[in-house]
Chains A and B, each alone.
Chain A
Amino acid sequence: MNSTDLMKQLPAQWSTFGPGYDWLFYFIYWMSVALFVGIIGTAIFFVVKYRRRPGVKAEPTGHNLVMELAWTVAPVILLVLLFHWGFAGYVSLTSPPPDAMDIRVRARKWSWDFEYPNGGHTANSVTIPINRPVRFVISSEDVLHAMFIPAFRVKRDAVPGMYSTLWFQATHTGDTRFYCAEYCGAADAPVIGADGVARETGHFSMGGPVHIIPQSQWQEFLVGILRAPTHANGTEFTPAEWGEQLYTAQNCNTCHSVNGSAMTGPTWQHIFGHDVALADGSHVPVDENYVRRSILEPNAQVVQGFNPVMPSYQGSLTDRQLDALIAYIRSLR
């Protein structure tokens, strides 16, 4: 990044909102610069010209009704203009075209789940086609979050108990980022990832890439998210390998370790096939059905010593992904 880039006020714009937004932003920007230079320049000129000198007294203050009215009324014209342009822009921001493609976005501490029209999911990364209106239908499973994509100039809060929407139409292919813009806390301590590195998680880590792909690749992408991922040599992941990949991608590692240490939730090491004690004192065997139920209805059978804080993954994982996770947990037996 060179120094002229550093001083640029706005990042690159990659959506149909971009040109209009940037025009209005820079209009206010240069208007503000002009007003600032005018007002402060006048003040500095007066301070120098009328500085205190021996024998020179201040003149008593008079009145100038015309000037006072002028600087009360003149801003109104400007403000009406700004309001009008701002509102017109807001109307287009909140009015998705009827043919927009819906992507269901679910926020939770501290990850995002994106559900595509064919039922496939991605976690913490979203892929969209270029030149096609896309509407995010956003909800939250716990506290407030906000979807913010600077390159598209859009933002909307995720509120528990209601749906909110935003829409955009990308105009460039490539990668940009989305962020969480509404404060949502952080984990009490760093979490050790699958790679063995401890990382802080929280509000600030709740972002990820936005991949904008050509429309010609869109169908291929949609089919791909329903299938197990493939190795570089083209062979499909085994279910356990896919489960290991989901363990990180779905943020299971935020609360569950695979090395025996207890975190917010029980470890996955050596649990499959064993009995566990539940909060109500009963014992259940950890089998396929227990694991599946614990992912979809996590607070139904909570292990003794842990709090019922896990969000439900109902609707976030396909059956094949559930199978893959079960296979991974079984492999840790």
Chain B
Amino acid sequence: MATEAEIAPSHHHDEPDPNANYLIASKGVWSWLTTLDHKRIGVMYLISVTLAFFMGGMFALLIRLELLTPGRTIMGAATYNRVFTLHGAIMVFLFIIPSIPAAMGNFILPIMLGAKDVAFPRLNLMSFYIYVIGAIFCLFSIVSGAVDTGWTFYTPYSTTSSSSVVSMTLGVFILGFSSILTGLNFIVTIHKLRAPGMHWRRLPLFVWGMYATSVIQVLATPVLAITLALLAMEKVLGLGIFDASLGGDPVLFQHFFWFYSHPAVYIMIVPGMAIVSELFATFSRRAVFGYFAIAMSSLGLALLGFLVWGHHMFTSGQSEFSTMVFSGLTMLVAIPSGVKVFNWTATLYKGSIWLTTPMLYALSFLVLFTIGGLTGLFLGTLSVDIHLHDTYFVVAHFHYVMMGGTVMGFLGGLLYWWPKITGKLYNEPAAKVSWGFIFVGFNAVFIAQFIMGSRGMPRRYYDYVPEFRPYHAFSTYGSWVLAVGFFILAGVLIQSLLKGAKSPPNPWGSAGFEWNTSSPPIYSNFAETPVITRGPYDYHEATEEELFDGFPEDFKKTES
């Protein structure tokens, strides 16, 4: 820890200067590629996941464009199947799973704990390169014919498809190890590297969320690896595990797949909730209501996430008894989710609410996740699910949770920590405009999908009967509004990188510990090991200097 660094003899001349800004502590591309600094690794992840998000987003726009009119609009059916598969696979495995934990968790989590780095910095760098190698296999599968199985790789279609399923599953298999190593690193870091005074009840809620996420990553991801290995063995060696014609059981694959992929839903959403908890506290200027309940509900979701995989299989031919049990357990998920929503709302009460763009994203999360959660009740209720299963209703539901939840949390966190990461301020009014486009566009895309879904439009359809045309067209127009929002946001961030004003250490006046160091942080995070004497949300105990260091005059200038 930091104390060891202080005792250590004076550092070698080519080692980074511990007291310099981490961006310039050592120079050159090589110093970035071989860095052990959690902040630089976080930034490299951030760039990677942003590229993945851009690619996945382009595929999403192609899907919507094709569905603008019935029949062929711009591509054939075989191409369409590849496009929607790549949209799903890239968004899930290359963007959303690593997005918040690997990019923002890596950057912020050690600073929040008052640590110098994660517990295993070399392992951290290795997990980044494993991610890169996995991503290369996934990209290779795209140029070698792509995959047309859907991101779920259901057998026996995936074992009989002539597309490059093996390369894609190998890529996802490798990506899993990156996820496991990051999770392991975070668990050890949280247990062992907390600064003096940072006891469990003072742990920021972002850290609690990362902790719950890491536990799922470590426990669930190996199951996906095994499943994909079995799939590859069946496809390459002809072992009969899932293929009925070889004596296997296709439903078994679904059990295996969802045993990982349902917990993975919580790998995706819990980090979003974790960021939003920070945003509600900072921009309401008071502690999150029900701190302990929110922390425990993250762990509760992590646990329940392991027990509900069968709700993806209500029509699959699993036994009626399992179906009943899974429906009951699925209902329980609503309780910790509800606890979070109620607590966030109560946090606003008697606060001093500052509607910055990050806060607008936090409120968007509240609105969209509530819709995502309530529509989950339709799908958890057995008889109601039967009609809605595998329709656009499900597509809309999980986009409200994944995009309306996690992506809104990601964007809120990105803008909130942007001055911390880059040391630059961004243009708030322009960021608000981009938020407006994203919020309106998103709802336009998916509200239409709820209605067509419950009216009977099945998912993964290249063509549709004329009855559904107005909904598809509306959804496609929404996707263009959404895209405009993202392009404005990209412009805002690029403008900030190139010409943004220098940020004060604590531009938001937050009581969070990550703001108690310079922005951007020095290489060793803190000049000396901090001693924590209050909670991360104790605004009434924080000094004025802590809350507004150099603010608000500097910030106001850039705003106007």
Chain A contact residues, CB within 8 Å of chain B: 1, 6-11, 17, 20-21, 24-25, 28-29, 31-32, 35-36, 39-40, 42-43, 46-47, 50-53, 56-61, 67-68, 71-72, 75-76, 79-80, 82-83, 85-90, 92-94, 142-144, 146, 148, 150-151, 153-157, 159-162, 164, 177, 179-190, 200-205
Residues of chain B lying within 8 A (CB to CB) of residue A184: 157
Please tell me if the beta carbons of B456 and A179 are within 8 angstroms of each other in the complex.
yes
Q: In the complex, what residues of B have CB within 8 A of residue A93's CB?
A: 383, 386
A55 to B27, CA, bound (A): 45
The answer to whether B387 touches A154 (Cβ under 8 A) is yes
A-B contact pairs, 27 of them (CB 8 A): A8-B455, A39-B342, A47-B363, A50-B350, A51-B352, A58-B284, A60-B286, A61-B286, A61-B287, A68-B290, A68-B293, A75-B335, A79-B335, A86-B380, A90-B383, A92-B383, A143-B154, A144-B156, A151-B456, A161-B244, A182-B154, A183-B150, A183-B460, A200-B71, A200-B462, A203-B81, A203-B460
**Pair A82/B390 contact, Cβ less than 8 Å:** no
Q: How far is the CA of A249 from the CA of B324 in the complex (A)?
A: 40
The residue in chain A whose Cβ has the minimal distance to the Cβ of B381 is A86
User: Which of B7-15, B72-80, B192-200, B259-267 lies on the face that meets chain A?
Assistant: B72-80
Q: CA–CA, A26 to B401, complex, Å?
A: 22
- Closest Cβ of chain B to A258, distance in Å, is 23
Contact partner, B285, options A36, A57, A143, Cβ 8 Å: A57
B390 CB contact (under 8 Å) in A86, A90, A151, A181: A181
> Number of B residues contacting the other chain (C-beta, 8 Å)?
97
CB-CB under 8 A for A47 and B353, given A28-B378, A159-B250, A203-B460: yes
Interface centre among B386, B455, B470, B538 (most CB of A within 10 A): B386
* A9-B386 in contact given A60-B286, A200-B462 (Cβ < 8 Å): no
Q: How far is the CA of A10 from the CA of B458 in the complex (A)?
A: 14
Residues of the A chain whose Cβ atoms lie less than 8 Å from the Cβ of B461: 203-204
Interface stretch, picked from B215-223, B368-376, B429-437, is B368-376
Which residues of chain B come closer than 8 Å to A156, judged between CB atoms? 315, 317
Contact with A along B452-482 (1 / 0, CB 8 A): 0011101111111101001100000000000
Given that A36-B371, A186-B462 are contacting pairs, would A154 and B386 also be in contact in the complex, using a CB cutoff of 8 Å? yes
In the complex, the number of residue pairs spanning A and B with C-beta atoms less than 8 Å apart equals 275
What are the 8 tightest A-B residue pairs by CB atom distance, in nearest-first order? A89-B383, A161-B244, A150-B456, A86-B381, A46-B348, A58-B285, A186-B77, A90-B382
State whether A148 touches B390 (Cβ < 8 A).
yes
Q: Which of B's residues lie within 8 Å of A, judged by CB?
A: 71-72, 76-78, 80-81, 148-150, 154, 156-157, 160-161, 243-245, 249-251, 284-290, 293, 315-317, 320, 323-324, 327-328, 331-332, 334-335, 338-339, 341-355, 363, 366-367, 370-371, 374-375, 377-378, 380-387, 389-391, 451, 454-456, 458-465, 467, 470-471, 537-540
Residues of chain A contacted by B367 (CB below 8 angstroms)? 40, 43
> Are the C-beta atoms of B339 and A71 separated by less than 8 Å?
yes
- Of chain B, the residue at the smallest CB distance from A159 is B317
